Amino acid sequence: MKYNIIRCLVDVHKVKLTVVPFDYDLEKNPSNIEWEGLFLSNGPGDPTMCPQTIKSIQYALNLDPPRPIFGICLGNQLLSLAAGAKTYKLKYGNRGMNQPCIDLRTGRCYITPQNHGFAVDSNSLPAMWKPLFINANDLTNEGIVHTDRPFFSVQFHPEASGGPLDTAFLFDKFVGHVRKISQPLVLQDGLAYQRQTVKKVLLVGSGGLSIGQAGEFDYSGSQCIKALKEEGIEVVLINPNIATVQTSTEKNEVTPGADKVYFLPIRPHVVMDIIAKEKPDGIIVSMGGQTALNVGVELWKTGQLQKAGVKVLGTQIDAIEATEDREIFSQKLQEIGESIALSYSANNVEEALEAARKIGYPVLVRAAFALGGLGSGFAENDAELKDLASKAFTVSSQILIDQDLRGWKELEYEVVRDSSDNCITVCNMENFDPLGVHTGDSIVVAPSQTLTNREFFMLRKTALKVVRHLGIVGECNIQYALNPKSEKYCIIEVNARLSRSSALASKATGYPLAYVATKLALGRDLVSIRNSITKTTTACFEPSLDYCVLKMPRWDLKKFNRVSNKLGSSMLSVGEVMSIGRSFEEVIQKACRMVNPSLDGLEGIDSNLTDDEIPLEEQIAVPTDTRLFAVQRALEEGWGVDKVYEHTKIDKWFLSKLENIARMRKACKDCGDVEKLFAENGTDRMRSLKMAGFSDQQIARYTNLTPLRDGTARVRAIRKSLGVIPCVKQIDTLAAEFPAETNYLYMTYSGNEDDVSEGLHDPIVSESDDESWPATPASKAFKNRIRSASLATSKSESLADKQERGVMVLGCGAYCIGSSVEFDWCAVSAIRQLRKDGFKSIIVNYNPETVSTDYDESDRLYFEELSLERVLDIYEREGAGGIVVSVGGQIPNNLAGSLASSGAKILGTSARDIERAEDRQQFSDMLDDMGLKQPAWSVARSMEEAVKFSEDVGFPVLVRPSFVLSGAAMRVASDEAQLKNFLGLAADVAADRPVVVTKFILGAKEIEFDAVANQGKILNYAIGEHLENAGVHSGDATVILPAQKLYVETIRQIKKYAVAISKALNITGPFNIQFMATGNDVQVIECNLRASRTFPFVSKTFHKNFISLATRAMCGLHVVPYNINLLDIDYVCVKAPMFSFTRLRGADPTLGVEMASTGEVACFGDDAPRAFLQAMLATGFKLPKAGSTVLLSIVNDNFRREFAESAITLSKMGYKLSATPGTARWYNANYNLDMKMVTKPVNSEDDGDDPATGAPSALSELKESDVELVINISEGTTRKDEISSGYIIRRTTVDYGISLVTNVKCAIWLVKSMERGYDKFKAKSVAEFYHLDV
């Protein structure tokens, strides 16, 4: 008998309890016990072996008047036998804490703890007895009840100390019977039969990717579309993000897409235009982040959805408002005895100050209805609060002043509830950092590691109570703050929509939250939906994890000058990784390598990410993007867990695990010799290191093996000779309690056997490698070992053999600036084409936000590192026919050389040719040899040579490192001092790769050439035209397709150059060349032998999937070029960048040669200006209202002259014009525009009037007047006055939520489009532009 049964009866229900042995004769009652109710306890084994107990129960059953009987576990079986039923042994038994059981009275499903091997045969129950509960998975009996007497029992443990206690009400019922309290009649409420009858649904997407709202909504939206199409519902999608998988128009039975896609701005009036046109029955606003949610709330509050007869599916708007409005939320929680942190709302700065004084400083300032903590921060005093509040009010009409709970633990639960009130928690997660760091910027661990069982179930119980009270239907996320020194907690917030955490929880558990939430929104109940992993069990369950998952954020703060790397309540990360393993040490080391491929694991001193000039105490006390490595350094230097805890408040359990890593590192370095390290107990030592997440390269470096590449190969050989190889494990959601049919895999050294079988073939060794290509001892051994098996068969392999072998596709890794959702679209397109052509597809990726890591996209998904070590592990194990490295961006492309030299077969363009294109020196040499024009260039072998070259060609010059993405460390140097500074930065990024200095050409037009080739011959191409002149990174440029203003001769030259380059590099697969043109003079900038970020844009504009074509070419299949005739295309598509400058405090919101945008959108139009303005609006750009002020600050006469016609137009349109002194004087003198003069600010506090002229400061105009648009055109140089004044104007503009344009070409197009009234447009789906039958 379990102690908690006694506690439940005696302590909770205050009954007098007498415990008797199993063979006590109840009829004779030798102890003369007086009893009013009989409780039958649990016990082990076969119930038929307890005849004495059964006899006593039979006596109790026949008493008149009857006395209540309640049995649990074995008691359920004994009561059944006493009643005359039969029991039998189950094949496996039902064990664990997450068994779903259906109450047959109500249809409700409860999560129950169980541990039994026998069950009651329901068919053998005699008359007057009925099943009370059944198991939702195997439908076995889980309880019985007498139809007119107070006898009942259940197979599970309602009272289990481990929890959950969802069915503890059964004890209430039993004790109520004993006390002769009338028990209420419990019946179904009929909600399960109220199915939504919808035939057409409008799905609102999230738009362009930004900090706080990224690729997770592509995943959730794609899952939603899949679920809707399974129900036979027509799907209309509005989403201007052209790079996403969900906006793809290709669809088939395996990958159903939306029926209609609108690439339009997500604005309330646009959504209503689509509703008026399409007439959907329902709308889903919970899958598109805060963007979609805010639109849905506004349309509901204004009554427009109700008037149109459109139902909001899933959680209703009043429930959403209850979670978004802090006052309503607080009131709702008070109704059920729960509370949020001390918090007050404020509608102006004075109210904010009053709230702060009530709470006491420091306080947290947050904007209501904002995503990712936008507009939030901590204030220590009135002055800081005023500054934060002023900025927060630019993004929201209401702000929140919250109690400061920094130092408390932060936890999250993902909760799912259906309309029948079945409610489960799918995943609980714990932040590595204490409260004070936005959860999007914190390391997150699932399941939680430091909670006690009591704490876990306390918070779980609260989550279910809150979600039920709020009336949420679908999926939501609840966040807690928990005092680490007590069980005191408060609720931070509830997100009544799919969130970033939802995507993470889905991938961490294998539970498809967005898919299930969509089904629930249609009225389905959890019990009827199947578990996608096991295929046989119900979706009404709580996943069990026999592994650990860790999410680590990815930041790109170093791309921005003046941006602090301090982390707080406003999210700054641009992406994230997820690692899976079976120890905390393993997952955190894997995650470090995933988030930064230049890291070998979690290291402090060796990471080069700590600062020797800043005291270590300071580096670990303040949360930053590098604090983890400073913490590790402190542990490596012997600080100890307690001392680090005092400075960081990071839980000691986490710190102890980091200390383990530090100790193992020290042991390896102290030994210093690889042979000595593994001489004794070599297998155990190697396995211990690998179980703790150490890579082969780390071990090689610790044991002084040089060169490191050869040393790493040697460690790999030693490891394999010791028999230490990783196991392949499945994500099966139920910790192996049920057979899983999943291809969702990870690798770990904490296992003895594989969960899936190996590939049927030996791996193919590449036979096309150039003999000059560097080879390591291990790669030679690898080639020799399999050459006879591989080469003998590869020449004669049939297509069927190749299809069976399969193809590995390397994904994009973490989203970052320069590598985002567009590369996931490329990877998914490649996978889908492989499956369509009958090839087994194997994807390797570790980004939880992606569609490619959805387990039903590929035949095998390895949620693993994109490192040489792990990719080779998978390649050898699967026996794949080759590896595609050209669809995942720069990370897989950079692996091509190492993989090829290790013997792996690279599909498509050879690794040697990839090297020739990526290496700046080799590529420039090749162009010179071919006679193709390029800007003057020189390899920066020394500082002196670089300076001399720059002086010879004349400044400005461009510094370009090799093998980098998004122009990392690329800079324009205007003088010698800048050149020397930038060369040092580029050398750090490029490592041992060449850094090239080229002449920077001002005023040139930049042109994109995206193409697919087969064996050097171009199959299809697209020429895109940048609106901005060269000098703006291609990822930040506005791109027009088809090109509208290129000379015929320019196009001819571009095609000629591209054909020559494709032939010279023998390209097979996707590639991108960037050109610049001045007049008809065309020059080559660079060539990427991989898919570029514009491939989805090109493919969707032309309605031809370039990646599908490239995949067939790379697999050696017959390929036929698409028939693309530009004369038949009577529309234009414009791609516009999406920036997140509002979050990056201090960043200069201007553009240069290093990419700064976090996402992109694209819109279609009958002409380029229409498409341009729609695209601008789709980025969130706000047009100035009629009669408002436009502030101009244009740096020189050339730009002023170029913009003059537009300035006149603005004046004619009724806008008031203000300008900085030079701009105002020039326009007033030359065009008599009567511009109001404002002074340039000297610093960020300079907002007073000019004492000499009385002219107001530009800052006071921005802060206090009706300025709604700022056009600030700088030279792009780094002159001091532009930095001091122009930067302050731009930064203030962004901070106060005012629209900003910094490029003269874009400003001209904007004014032209506004003048023509192109902000008003008719909603057209992309199919209408394609002229498809719609």
Q: How far apart are the first and last CA of the chain?
A: 68
Q: How many residues does the chain have?
A: 1334
Cα angle: 492, vertex 498, 503; to 5 degrees: 100
CB 163 within 8 A of CB 114: no
Output the six-digit token pair for 520.
Answer: 């629930």
Closest by CA to 539, choosing from 526, 552, 548, 549, is 526
**What is the rounded distance in angstroms from the CA atom of residue 23 to the CA atom of residue 1001?**
97
CB 96 within 8 A of CB 737: yes
Helices (H) and strands (E) in the chain, counts: 44, 45
Rounded to an integer, what is the distance from CA 900 to the centroid of its chain?
Answer: 31
**What is the rounded distance in angstroms from the CA atom of residue 389 to the CA atom of residue 955?**
44
**What is the rounded distance in angstroms from the CA atom of residue 678 to the CA atom of residue 683?**
7
Q: What are phi and psi of 484, to 5 degrees?
A: -70, -15
How many CA atoms does the CB half-sphere of 992 hold within 13 Å? Answer: 1
**What is the rounded distance in angstroms from the CA atom of residue 926 to the CA atom of residue 1177?**
43
272-309 as b/e: b if 16+ CB within 10 A = bbbbeebebbbbbbbbbbbbbbbbbbebbeeebbeeee
Return the CA Rg of the chain.
33
Where in the sequence numbering do the catalytic residues fall?
73, 157, 159
**What is the rounded distance in angstroms from the CA atom of residue 1243 to the CA atom of residue 662?**
46
Sorted by sequence, the CB contacts under 8 Å of residue 412 that are 6+ apart come out as 428, 429, 430, 431, 439, 444, 477, 478, 479, 480, 501
Closest by CA to 361, choosing from 386, 325, 328, is 386
Q: Identify the bridge partners of residue 1334 per DSSP, sorted by sequence position.
A: none
* C-beta neighbour count of 990 within 10 angstroms: 20
CB 1080 within 8 A of CB 1047: yes
Sorted by sequence, the CB contacts under 8 Å of residue 1295 that are 6+ apart come out as 391, 394, 1142, 1145
**What is the rounded distance in angstroms from the CA atom of residue 637 to the CA atom of residue 643?**
12
Residue 127, burial from CB neighbour count under 10 angstroms (0-12, 13-18, 19+): exposed
**What is the rounded distance in angstroms from the CA atom of residue 518 to the CA atom of residue 418?**
10
**What is the rounded distance in angstroms from the CA atom of residue 516 to the CA atom of residue 436?**
32
How many CA atoms does the CB half-sphere of 1028 hold within 13 Å? Answer: 24
Residue with tokens 């009270």: 469
Q: Identify the bridge partners of residue 95 per DSSP, sorted by sequence position.
A: 115
E-assigned strands of 864-934? 883-884
Sorted by sequence, the CB contacts under 8 Å of residue 812 that are 6+ apart come out as 819, 820, 823, 824, 826, 827, 845, 847, 850, 852, 888, 889, 891, 892
**What is the rounded distance in angstroms from the CA atom of residue 1243 to the CA atom of residue 1257?**
11
**What is the rounded distance in angstroms from the CA atom of residue 596 to the CA atom of residue 213?**
21
Residue type, 621: A
